[in-house]
Amino acid sequence: MGAPAKSALVVSAHPGDFVWRAGGAIALHVMRGYRVKIVCLAFGERGESQWAWKKAGVSMDEVKAQRKEEAEKAASMLGAEIEFFDAGDYPLRLTQTMLDRMVDIYREVRPSFVLTHAIEDPYNGDHPEASRFAQEARVIAQAAGHKPDPERSYSAPPVFLFEPHQPEQCNFRPNVILNIDQAWETKRRTFEILAAQKHLWEYYTRVALNRGMQGGRNSGRAMTYGEAYQRVFPAVVEELS
């Protein structure tokens, strides 16, 4: 029997979030043989669909359908699976049933790592709520008494918070920069699927270039594009180097 495939879990409030902030990490790890599952908590139908609402007479159901289609295409281009919770946005309202399902996903996917939102974001309450939800489910998934199963073992994975839109206002302190040069073209093509947020395409290209420059300076290795993350829990190592 070969070793089980590695996996990763991404918990995203809205469809664009996993593309702008973690698209490089998703595509890169898929290239390296990981199974990547995205949980998209809301379609971003109210607050993340500025261009969609410019069409006269458009309905809520039409906007949700557009964003769902975009998210499915984006996940497919990145090579990931996607599951939607349809929790609504602005505000995001998550239920006990959704929490139970999230716990089940942790135990099914058994992720090697988790990517989710920053813990603070004064501009968008959906984002810290998604982060809180992702981390609460991670803890519950460890509880032996939650849906007891003596045959199932589970250890909680490390959590990395992806970069918020305005990091300085969110107390975001990146301590990991991921080199996404190998995956950049895939991530950039995925931007173009998100027609409802065209105004962010070039913005997040600049963010990737800035983080790539910082990554190169910190590592001493050639690097053009990067993604920044903040690790929540300590790394446990055998030596410092």
What are 138's two structure tokens? Answer: 């991670």
**pLDDT in the model for residue 4:** 56
**pLDDT in the model for residue 125:** 96
Say whether the peptide bond before residue 4 is cis (omega within 30 degrees of 0).
no
**pLDDT in the model for residue 151:** 73
Domains of the chain (ranges; CATH) run: 7-230 (3.40.50.10320)
Distance of alpha carbon 23 from alpha carbon 205, whole angstroms: 12
Q: What is the pLDDT of residues 136-170, one digit of tens each?
A: 999 999 988 888 887 777 788 999 999 999 999 99
Q: What is the pLDDT of residues 55-97, one digit of tens each?
A: 888 898 998 999 999 999 999 999 999 999 999 999 999 999 9
The mean pLDDT value for 160-183 works out to: 97
Query: Is pLDDT above 80 for 2?
Result: no
Q: What is the pLDDT of residues 3-52, one digit of tens each?
A: 457 999 999 999 999 999 999 999 999 999 999 999 999 998 888 777 77
**pLDDT in the model for residue 147:** 85
Query: Is pLDDT above 70 for 194?
Result: yes
The mean pLDDT value for 104-125 works out to: 97
Mean pLDDT of the chain: 93
Q: pTM for the full model?
A: 0.94
**pLDDT in the model for residue 5:** 79
**pLDDT in the model for residue 3:** 47
Query: Is pLDDT above 50 for 223?
Result: yes
CB < 8 Å & 24+ apart, contacts of 205-212: 207/20, 207/163, 208/24, 208/180, 208/184, 211/163, 211/174, 211/177, 212/179, 212/180, 212/181
**Are residues 36 and 29 in contact, defined by beta-carbon separation less than 8 angstroms?**
yes
